[in-house]
Structure 1
Amino acid sequence: MKVAVGSDHRGFDAKQQTKAIVTQMGHECIDFGTDGTHPVDYPDLAYIVSKAVSEGQADRAILICATGLGMSIAANKVKGIRAALCHDELSAQISRDHNDTNVLCLSGDQIGEVLLRKIVEAWLNTEFSGGRHQRRVGKILAIEEGRDPRELNHT
């Protein structure tokens, strides 16, 4: 699997750790930056990394900023992206299993190395279960297209 990674300056150290985890798990890691701790704007990184996923250059992505909130908000503005901010293994697993997320957002300031590894491993190792969740993901896609998801209740 190709996994794009990106961070702002506050998430840089966690991004470096994340790259190692992704590679150790046998996946290809594509680093979109930043390349240090000099200040950069998180929306810039969220956009280019999310576009890489939406355009098929990467299968999934991991974005990191101070809290993960900004990255999550910005990434979810890109068509085709389902980004989730996760603070534990369970939320990472459910975001994949139930919501078919393709972007994981993390806090560079609030989680340590051990938890970071557990979250990334859980997210990368979990597949979308489909079934009843597919209908709900379909409704998310309808919202993205400007349609009322309740219209899908009658199909």
Structure 2
Amino acid sequence: MLSIAIASDDAARELKDILVQFLGNKGLEIKDYSDTGNLYPDIAVHLAQQIVNGAHQRGILLCGTGIGMSISANKVPGIRAALCHDNYSAERARKSNDAQIITLGARVIGPELAKSILTSWLASEFEAGGSAAKVARIEYYDHQFHQNAGEAKNAAPAGEANEKT
């Protein structure tokens, strides 16, 4: 059974609740990580770490636009998070880019479109083929730029809460 992690900030909580019910009705295993921080970067990084660590195969992140969650999740080495607001992009995110995380904007799309986008994304699998070399190159650069990252770069800015991730 496909295990899916989901999380949202306050701007997308209502849409997240609708999607949890929608996915649960499809018989999917859903784990909500929305309570893992007050700031969307903390929420996104925590969920992305769950994917990298193998706790879930896929993740869904929601905020007002989906942009901040996407940027934040992509800071985690090994993650490919794609912002999608249409079915074609969601399908290609999986088939061409092997994106494990999709991000959606609650202020950009409505519940019915979000359900349709998730249906397309969940029905798609990485096709490899001509995209395999491209995804391998993404992974190469991911490793290249993260292998020497120091602990000091991972600390929260002064005055900010450093949520446990």
TM-score (norm 1): 0.89
5+ unaligned residues in a row in structure 1: which ranges? 148-155
CA contact (8 A) 1:12 1:34 kept: no
Deviation at 1:7, TM superposition (A): 0.5
Structure 2 Cα separation of the partners of residues 107 and 52 of structure 1: 21
Structure 1 Cα separation of the partners of residues 45 and 73 of structure 2: 6
Deviation at 1:113, TM superposition (A): 1.2
Per the alignment, residue 7 of structure 1 pairs with 8
For residues 121-152 of structure 1, the C-alpha deviation after alignment (integer angstroms, 9 at most, x for no partner) is 111111111111111100000110117xxxxx
Which stretch has the larger CA shift, 97-106 or 18-27? 18-27
Per the alignment, residue 33 of structure 1 pairs with 34
Deviation at 1:94, TM superposition (A): 0.5
Matched ranges for 1:1-155 at <5 A = 1-34=2-35, 40-146=38-144
- Letter of the 1:83 counterpart: A
Deviation at 1:5, TM superposition (A): 0.3
- Letter of the 1:114 counterpart: E
Structure 1 Cα separation of the partners of residues 90 and 101 of structure 2: 10
Which stretch has the larger CA shift, 136-145 or 20-29? 20-29
RMSD: 1.5
- The runs of at least 4 aligned residues of structure 1 exceeding 3 Å deviation read none
5+ unaligned residues in a row in structure 2: which ranges? 146-165
CA contact (8 A) 1:21 1:120 kept: no
Structure 2 Cα separation of the partners of residues 24 and 129 of structure 1: 27
Structure 2 Cα separation of the partners of residues 90 and 17 of structure 1: 22
TM-score (norm 2): 0.84
Per the alignment, residue 157 of structure 2 pairs with none
Structure 1 Cα separation of the partners of residues 25 and 132 of structure 2: 31
Structure 1 Cα separation of the partners of residues 31 and 87 of structure 2: 23
- Letter of the 1:8 counterpart: D
Deviation at 1:25, TM superposition (A): 2.2
Structure 1 Cα separation of the partners of residues 108 and 35 of structure 2: 19
Other structure's SS at 1:146 match:
helix
